[in-house]
């Protein structure tokens, strides 16, 4: 059903950020969107909206179909029970972070951020005028784990909230129920609000996912169809309030704070949640093939690489190569652009993040260049 012959020329023809940041000879594996076509049902719904010239201001959240479609999808696929009255729309998830930190957490309180994490979290907390307290995750047998002692120390010292990325960007880590329960107990003990960004959850490779909001009736969950169904530019995300009191506070916020959705994004979101499941299954199969290519290629580097459990981002620990700036080194010596690990918090120093949602041939070429360079066959490892 997905046109897997999709090639880079078609991605380039989109004229978006992806594939326009560098010269043509650079393989850009930075921007987190997929070199895949948009799902047929999403495209058809948006084309119909274009035919109807549906370019006016969007209807109020509660009059649109989005909360109902999202509520059904959350119950059936995500494991979170939330009625449409608990679901409100956002133009983008980072707005959800700034506004929930501002209005739903203790005035002025710092925000705990388990790292490494999506770099825009720090921007969003900054826009809210708050301090981010980075608590690096521990690396356990199955990859990254929450440092619950570190989180508790930060809460005891006055932090009023925890901003979670579950599954993780850049780690692809799906957190397990046990530690999430412990986090919920800490949140209750210190009267802290947990805000859980679960945008990557639909793209998981194995069954079994615990949405944080299923364990904490004061949680705020951020979710969106835009990432998993590949229309991030259409601007529509969702905020889910486990606590009806939070929904009431939100309802009083002015449009300037919480408005700005695109009607095309709303249309696309309903189509994705209602009719996009077969496409999603195929996309995950495609991504899984690429995930294996990455794992195979990186085995040669002996970097203790852990496969993501969700999403299409690979997180590479290049510290053993002693490079001052691994992403700059790879760009210079291999022509492959990756995201600098340090963008993901101090715990990311020495790492790079790589988007593998690209045609397998392109990915193989990038991985060949990276491994050859780091193994010292080309380029000059050690230089930055």
Ligand X SMILES: Cc1ncc(COP(=O)(O)O)c(C=O)c1O
* Minimum CB distance to ligand X smaller for 202 or for 237: 237
Which has the closest alpha carbon to 232: 55, 21, 23, 36? 36
Q: Which is nearer to ligand X, 301 or 306 (CB)?
A: 306
Between 45 and 89, CB nearer to ligand X: 89
Token digits of residue 109: 């309180």
Distance CA 53, CA 43 (A): 15
- Residues in 147-176 at the binding interface with ligand X, rule: CB under 6 A: 165, 169
Supply angle C-alpha 71, 74, 79, rounded to 5. Answer: 135
Query: Which residues fall within 8 angstroms of residue 337, CB to CB, at 6 or more apart?
Result: 21, 22, 26, 27, 28, 29, 30, 327, 330, 331
32 binds ligand X (CB under 6 A): yes
The β-bridge partners of 317 are: 351
The answer to whether 225 contacts ligand X (rule: CB under 6 A) is: no
Query: Does 356 engage in binding with ligand X (CB under 6 A)?
Result: no
| Pairing mode of beta strands 111-115, 87-90 | unpaired
Given the complex with ligand X, which of 126 and 382 has the nearer CB atom?
126
Chain center to CA of 284: 15
Q: Is 232 in the site for ligand X (CB under 6 A)?
A: yes
Position 343 contacts ligand X (CB under 6 A): no
Question: CB of 309: closest distance to ligand X in angstroms?
Answer: 14
Is the distance from CB of 213 to CB of 196 less than 8 angstroms?
Answer: yes
Is there binding between residue 246 and ligand X (CB under 6 A)?
no
Bond into 72 cis (ω within 30): no
Residues 81-140 that bind ligand X (CB under 6 A): 92-94, 118
- Number of shown-chain residues binding ligand X (CB under 6 A): 14
Binder among 28, 61, 152, 197 for ligand X (CB under 6 A): 197
Among 113, 128, 132, 199, binds ligand X (CB under 6 A): 199
> Which residues contact ligand X by CB under 6 A?
32, 92-94, 118, 165, 169, 197, 199, 224, 226-227, 232, 237
């Amino acid at each position: 059903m997905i046109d897997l012959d999709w090639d880079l020329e078609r991605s380039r023809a989109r004229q978006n950020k992806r594939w326009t940041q560098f010269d043509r000879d650079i393989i850009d594996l930075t921007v987190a969107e997929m070199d895949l076509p948009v799902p047929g049902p999403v495209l058809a719904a948006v084309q119909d909206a274009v035919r109807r010239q549906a370019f006016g201001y969007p209807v109020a959240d509660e009059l649109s179909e989005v909360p109902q479609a999202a509520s059904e999808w959350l119950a059936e696929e995500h494991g979170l029970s939330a009625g449409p009255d608990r679901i409100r729309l956002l133009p983008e998830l980072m707005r959800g972070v700034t506004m929930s930190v501002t209005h739903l957490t203790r005035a002025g309180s710092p925000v705990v951020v388990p790292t490494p994490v999506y770099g825009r979290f720090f921007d969003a907390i900054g826009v809210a005028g708050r301090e981010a307290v980075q608590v690096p995750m521990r690396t356990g047998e199955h990859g990254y784990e929450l440092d619950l002692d570190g989180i508790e120390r930060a809460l005891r010292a006055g932090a009023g909230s925890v901003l979670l990325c579950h599954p993780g960007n850049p780690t692809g880590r799906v957190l397990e129920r046990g530690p999430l329960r412990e986090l919920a107990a800490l949140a209750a003990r210190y009267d802290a609000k947990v805000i859980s960004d679960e945008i990557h959850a639909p793209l998981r490779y194995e069954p079994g996912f615990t949405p944080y909001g299923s364990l904490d009736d004061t949680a705020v969950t951020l979710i969106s169809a835009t990432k998993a169904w590949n229309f991030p530019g259409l601007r529509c995300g969702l905020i889910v309030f486990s606590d009806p009191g939070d929904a009431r506070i939100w309802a009083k916020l002015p449009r300037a704070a919480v408005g700005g959705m695109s009607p095309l994004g709303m249309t696309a979101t309903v189509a994705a949640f209602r009719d996009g499941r077969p496409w999603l299954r195929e996309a995950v199969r495609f991504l899984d093939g690429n995930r294996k290519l990455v794992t195979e290629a990186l085995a040669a580097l002996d970097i203790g690489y852990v496969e993501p459990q969700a999403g299409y981002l690979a997180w590479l620990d290049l510290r053993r190569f002693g490079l001052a700036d691994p992403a700059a080194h790879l760009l210079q010596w291999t022509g492959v652009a990756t995201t600098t690990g340090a963008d993901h918090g101090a715990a990311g120093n020495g790492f790079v993040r790589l988007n593998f949602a690209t045609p397998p041939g392109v990915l193989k070429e990038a991985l060949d260049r990276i491994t050859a360079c780091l193994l010292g066959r080309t380029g000059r490892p050690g230089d930055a």
